[in-house]
Amino acid sequence: MTAGLNIVLTGATGGIGRAFASALVPRAGSLLLAARDDGRLQAMAAGLRRENPALQVSTVAGDLCSVPGRAAVVEAARALPGGPELLVNNAGVGDFAWFANESEADIERVIRTNLLAPVLLTRALLPLMRPGPHAAVVNVGSILGDIGNPGNVAYSTTKYALRGFSEALRRELHGSGIRVQYLAPRATRTALNSAAQDALNAELGNGSDTPDTVARALLALLDGHRAEMHLGWPERFFVRLNRLLPSVVDRALGKRAAVVRRHAATKGGNAG
């Protein structure tokens, strides 16, 4: 991928977001970072400018679930010379909890943040995006957008929907000069994970990646022009198995449900 791109990155101050930003610096001419915490955004922007003094870094602090928060990102993107070329929808939250015990407010928060916010932001930014060989919308989903896990019902719901959004929009934009891609990390070692989720992963022997691993996968996805990329083994195998023989995965994950429920009962937390 060429350098000098105008890039919009949401969820920029999280563990994966910071890794994405650093990985994208050599490819960016202008980098627009969006997140909720202005102090963390400013500190991050200052660090990136030190890393590359020629880089134009701008920030937007706000809630992408709100109309004003999305409007602020759109206005900042409008100021990018020539318009944005790459949008990375990375902002998201999780909620590791037994579904029957989740509050309506928690379920609504997950759906608004993980699904409605990126869908509506993408719709608002598409008219500003500059078509070209490197123009793309990348939606960051999850392995749980292909494999519905107990303890992650609300989260899996949003990531399945985000994958469907990516697929449908990719087909709608065919021939437009703007690609739509979907990146599905597995469990990733960030502060997003709750202690309960980490304990469950340890007991079940679930693999996990560093944010830098996910960032390298993002670059490979962009360079390879694939529609989707799923991280981890045996996770990639189970994605394929779940599409072909879901009843086999039903039985395998059903046997783990009691263990998941025990960990989820300790404290509802975030899924990576």
Q: Give start and end residues of each alpha helix (H) in 128-190.
A: 153-172
In a domain, 272, yes or no: no
In a domain, 145, yes or no: yes
The burial of 75, by beta-carbon neighbours within 10 Å (0-12 exposed, 13-18 middle, 19 or more buried), is given as: exposed
Query: What would the pLDDT profile of 40-74 be if each residue is shown by its tens digit?
Result: 999 999 999 998 889 999 999 999 999 999 999 99
In a domain, 257, yes or no: yes
Q: What is the mean pLDDT of residues 119-134?
A: 97
Lowest-confidence segment of 13-17, 203-207, 235-239 by average pLDDT: 203-207
Catalytic amino acids? 155
- Does the structure show a pLDDT above 80 at 85? yes
Query: What would the pLDDT profile of 161-196 be if each residue is shown by its tens digit?
Result: 999 999 999 999 999 999 999 999 998 888 777 788
Q: What percent of the chain has pLDDT over 90?
A: 79
In a domain, 191, yes or no: yes
Which DSSP string corresponds to 121-141? HHHHHGGG---STT-EEEEE-
Q: Total structural domains in the chain?
A: 1
Confidence at residue 269, expressed as pLDDT on a 0 to 100 scale: 40
In a domain, 271, yes or no: no
Q: What's the CATH number where 223 sits?
A: 3.40.50.720
Q: What is the mean pLDDT of residues 245-261?
A: 90
In a domain, 104, yes or no: yes
Residue 29's domain comprises 5-266
- Cα distances from 171 to residues 9, 81, 155, 164, in angstroms, run 23, 28, 25, 11
In a domain, 201, yes or no: yes
Confidence at residue 195, expressed as pLDDT on a 0 to 100 scale: 81
Confidence at residue 104, expressed as pLDDT on a 0 to 100 scale: 96
Confidence at residue 2, expressed as pLDDT on a 0 to 100 scale: 64
Query: What would the pLDDT profile of 98-121 be if each residue is shown by its tens digit?
Result: 999 999 999 999 999 999 999 999
Lowest-confidence segment of 122-131, 144-153, 203-212 by average pLDDT: 203-212
pLDDT band at 270 (very low <50, low <70, confident <90, very high): very low
pTM reported for the whole predicted model:
0.93
In a domain, 262, yes or no: yes
Angle at 37 between CA 36 and CA 42, to 5 degrees: 120
